[in-house]
Amino acid sequence: MRILRSKKLGSKKTYNLKRKGCKVKKTLLLAAALCLCISMTAFSAEEEMGVKGKKLVSGYLGYTLGFGDAFSDYEEVVGTETYKYSFDAGLNLGGAFHIGVTEKMLIGGELGFQSYKFESTVGSFSVSSSDMETNILASALYVLNYEEEKKMFLNFGTGIYGGGDSNLGLFGGIVYHKAMSSYDLILMPRLHYVLADGSKPLMLSLSIEASFPVGQN
């Protein structure tokens, strides 16, 4: 992932690196999201319907929070100068297609785009940049609850994160559908774990999605 590579302000000296921990606020948000996922899986349907043969096309938009060393603010001391660096994730968007292969399972693919932000500061001088990277994912949806008015799936899969810099990653989460007139409105909290060189970025994406059935509903 290009944005996760260490960026310097031109110096090639050996640095004394001081890493900071993850922000408490982000940790609390992660814990809250995990609690939400667990609580949402607690209820079950009295009457379930199968998904075999069903086709779903969806698009989503959301925001991603980054955790772990790759997203920790840190400082480097070079001589008398202190360089401060910060990395963060940002907006995410994409689309997916799934088809039901059994009464409980849909499989498919997802094309997503994830933005990253980088900022470096020394004294009163700062440089910031952003990057949008492509994720190509294989995705599965397992039925936890399937009713006409509400549906809930366990979503998991693997794929390539970072486009040209290709890093393998894993993801998992809960996908909750609320039936509307001609489409489903979806809440989609998911965790992404990327196997990048030198770091193992962990990201929590919170997305709103719209899903449309293709062919027979």
Per domain, the residue ranges of the chain are: 16-214
**Rounded to an integer, what distance in angstroms lies between the CA atom of residue 78 and that of residue 120?**
14
CB 1 within 8 A of CB 157: no
In what helix (H) or strand (E) does residue 159 lie, and over which residues does it extend?
strand 150-161
Task: Give domain 16-214's CATH architecture.
Answer: Beta Barrel (2.40)
Give pTM, 2 decimals.
0.72
**Rounded to an integer, what distance in angstroms lies between the CA atom of residue 6 and that of residue 35?**
33
Output the tens digit of pLDDT for each of the chain's 217 residues. Answer: 544 444 444 333 333 333 434 444 454 455 555 545 444 443 443 345 689 999 999 999 999 999 877 788 888 888 888 889 888 999 999 999 999 999 999 999 999 999 999 899 988 888 888 889 999 999 999 999 988 889 999 999 999 998 666 789 999 999 999 988 888 899 999 999 998 776 678 899 999 989 887 765 4
pLDDT digits (tens, 9 = 90+) for 83-137: 898 889 999 999 999 999 999 999 999 999 999 998 999 888 888 888 899 999 9
